[in-house]
Amino acid sequence: MASYRIAGNTGEWEVVCGLEIHAQIISKSKLFSAAATEFGGEPNSQVSPVDAGMPGMLPVINRFCVEQAIKTGLGLRAQINRHSVFERKNYFYADLPQGYQISQYLEPLVGEGTVYLDMPDGEVIPVGIERLHMEQDAGKSLHDQEPGKTYIDLNRSGVALMEIVSKPDIRSPEQAGAYIQKLRSILRYLGTCDGNMAEGSLRCDINVSVRKPGAGLGTRCEVKNVNSVRFVMHAIEAEATRQIELIEEGGEVIQETRLYDPRKGETRSMRGKEEAHDYRYFPDPDLLPLIVENDWVERIKADMPELPDEKKQRFIQDYGLGAYDAGVLVAERETADFYEDVANGRDAKTAANWVTGEFFGAMNKAGVDLDEAPVNAAMLGELLDLMADNTISGRIAKDVFEEMWETGKKAGAIVEEKGLKQITDTGELEAILDKVIAENPEQVQQVKDGNQKVMGWFVGQAMKATGGKANPKMVNELLRKKLG
Amino acid sequence: MAVDKDTVAKIAKLARIRVEPEQQEALTQELSNILRWVEHLGELDTDGVEPMTSVVEMNLKMREDEVADGRRQNDIVANAPESKHGFFVVPRVVE
């Protein structure tokens, strides 16, 4: 694939990005307290004294959260560190009652790994993972409830997060989008994060720098608060373009934190608010180092589901699918399962075409998820069976599918009810063809003069006369006999 | 290591502690003395010695993933200078 370049006045520029993703761990209770993690509860109803930063309260780590983070590390093909340390990241903010966030700094739980991006042209691009560490989430501030006031809800305070940091291996907005989607897919397969960007369970900060192709790394800026794949892609382009213009005008990029404004489509500096940031990390005296025994990791490993990369490989090998179709089908575990149910005992490629074509098309058009679709795997399978045994033609099958989607009826019932069975009776077809031939002497002459295209026209007329129910293969054969 | 007045002012700001200018000199002396005293530890050769994280040999205690706390909104905001509809209410934090 051609490399992504931005044209400046002094030539082409390359974009270099690294992503930091905060992924909320799926668990019932918080990382260091026994309060619930559910989204959307009454304000401050899911808060323990630990989460509220009450004096004297001690954090006790949630074993399941650690397990989820290890599982994610394994899913990223990453090093699991047997010894890691929780540290305090100190800063003041109204939604951080402790005055510090418990995080991991020098010794994270998970080290280097790799994520493979599936690009639309079938290319696979590896992106390095630098680290994954566990930390607490902060509370939520609402600034628009009352003039001059900020409302604080601590329900999210203390919920377990994984911060997943990539290496600066990403070279285009498209790759950044593919990276988030792939990571999201892996997290959802593992059941360690629901990946919901709208609810904030997956949040993204982007490090962006530019350079002339082949040159050393430029100075980077961190763009915060980007909460959809589309915005991430926009933000990278906007920030890279800003840096290029700045450099070409003789300026210099200053390492800083910037905020993406989706309405204006630009990033702006957060300087000033940032200058006081000096986190003064130190090991949390309330917590001992986290020791992960080998057999624990082995048990987690034994319990891992088949992940998207392996599933994709299997779909390519076992079902003979192309890399792109396989990638689309495995992106969501539910979709992959649905496909396998449809393909089971049937022609795998036809099944893939129908699932990615008609079925996804209908889903997108209706704006529904798989579990809300009025046609299930068994119903789609029945339709494919009717095609396979020549009960209906492919053309009619599409009409039947539409009817199924609208009414929720089964394919067999619709075919029966509307009399859509394919005409395979030679006598009946011959009678129809004879009529078409008799009515169109001019075209018959053209065929006899050697115009083969008109043969196709006759097939079309026969299909029209039967409402698409004629078996096209038989029509072709009979016509050739009669006109050839 | 000795600290200067600017460092004292910075530390105070980070810790959100108000230090009046006339207090700075005394605090600078005090902090420098503390640091010099701690620096004696540097005289020990600790090469190859594992950092001690606890005086007792034990591992990090873990709990199971169970919900056993929360559902006490009133208690949580009880000490807040201002609260409304279950929220803490603080002077506006400008983004």
pLDDT in tens, A81-129: 999 999 999 998 999 999 999 999 999 999 999 999 988 888 899 999 9
Closest Cα in chain B to A58: B61
Contact A136, A103 (CB under 8 A): yes
Distances (CA, A) of A57 to A51, A53, A286: 9, 7, 10
The predicted pLDDT at position A479 comes to 86
Measured CA to CA, the distance from residue A364 to residue A353 in angstroms comes to: 16
Average pLDDT over residues A351-371: 94
In this prediction, residue B50 carries a pLDDT of 81
Reference A71, options A165, A166, A179, A189; nearest CA is A189
Given CB atoms, is A60 within the 8 Å cutoff of chain B? yes
| Mean of pLDDT values over B19-43 | 93
A149-153 and A140-142 beta bridge pairing: antiparallel
Q: Does A283 touch chain B (CB under 8 A)?
A: yes
**What percentage of chain A reaches a pLDDT higher than 70?**
98
Judged by a CB distance cut-off of 8 A, whether residue A40 touches chain B is no
Mutation to test the A interface, candidates B75, B92, B94, most A Cβ within 10 Å: B92
**In chain B, whose CA is at the least distance from the CA of A275?**
B14
Q: Which of A39-43, A144-148, A471-475, B89-93 has the lowest mean pLDDT?
A: A471-475
**Helices A441-448, A472-483: crossing angle, 10 deg rounding:** 80
Percent of chain A having pLDDT more than 90?
76
Average pLDDT score over residue span A377-402: 92
A408 CB neighbour count, 10 Å cutoff: 12
Question: What is d(CA A135, CA A230) in angstroms, rounded to the nearest whole number?
Answer: 27
ipTM of the complex: 0.90
Q: Which domains does chain B have, with CATH numbers?
A: 5-41 (1.10.20)
Q: Helix (H, G, I), strand (E, B), or coil: what is residue A146?
A: coil
Query: Domains in chain A and their CATH numbers?
Result: 6-301 (no CATH), 306-418 (no CATH), 426-483 (1.10.10.410)
Distance from CA of B26 to the nearest CA of A (A): 23
Q: Which of A429-443, B24-38, B76-90 has the lowest mean pLDDT?
A: A429-443
The pLDDT value recorded for residue A443 is 87
The continuous run of DSSP H or E covering A433 comes out as: helix A426-439
- In contact, A389 and A417? CB cutoff 8 Å: no
Q: What is the reported pLDDT for A271?
A: 66
pLDDT at A475 over 70: yes
The pLDDT value given to residue A121: 84
Predicted confidence (pLDDT) at residue A217 exceeds the cutoff of 60: yes
CB contact under 8 A, A33 and B90: no
Q: Which residues of B touch A46 (CB under 8 A)?
A: 70-71
pLDDT tens column, A137-190: 999 999 999 999 999 999 999 999 999 999 999 999 999 999 999 999 999 999
B contacts of A290 (beta carbons < 8 Å) = 60
Q: Does A44 contact B76 at a Cβ distance shorter than 8 Å?
A: yes
Are B65 and A289 within 8 A, CB to CB? Answer: no
What's the pLDDT band for A452 if we cut at 50, 70, 90?
confident
CB within 8 Å: A36 and B93: no
- Of the pLDDT bands very low, low, confident and very high (cuts 50, 70, 90), residue A421 is confident
Contact status of A47 with chain B (Cβ, < 8 Å): yes
Nearest to A202 by CA among A241, A228, A240: A228
Burial class (CB in 10 A: 0-12, 13-18, 19+), A419: exposed
What is the per-residue pLDDT for A363?
95
**Residues of chain A positioned with their CB less than 8 A from the CB of B65:** 27-29, 62-65
Nearest to A152 among B54, B60, B90 (CB): B90
Q: How many CB atoms lie within 10 A of CB A194?
A: 16
What residues in B contact A35, CB-CB < 8 Å? 67, 69-70
**Cβ-defined contact of B92 to A28 (cutoff 8 Å):** no
Q: Long-range contact list for A311-320, CB < 8 A, 24+ apart?
A: A311/A336, A312/A118, A315/A339, A318/A348, A319/A343, A319/A348, A319/A349, A319/A352, A320/A348, A320/A349
- Does residue B76 come out as left (phi exceeding 0), alpha (psi in the -120 to 50 range) or beta? alpha
Which chain A positions have a beta carbon within 8 Å of B66's beta carbon?
Answer: 28-29, 34
CB contact set of A283 (below 8 Å; sequence gap of 6+): A85, A86, A87, A88, B53
- Candidates A48, A60, A92; nearest CB to B61: A60
Q: Where are the alpha helices (DSSP H) in A37-144?
A: 63-75
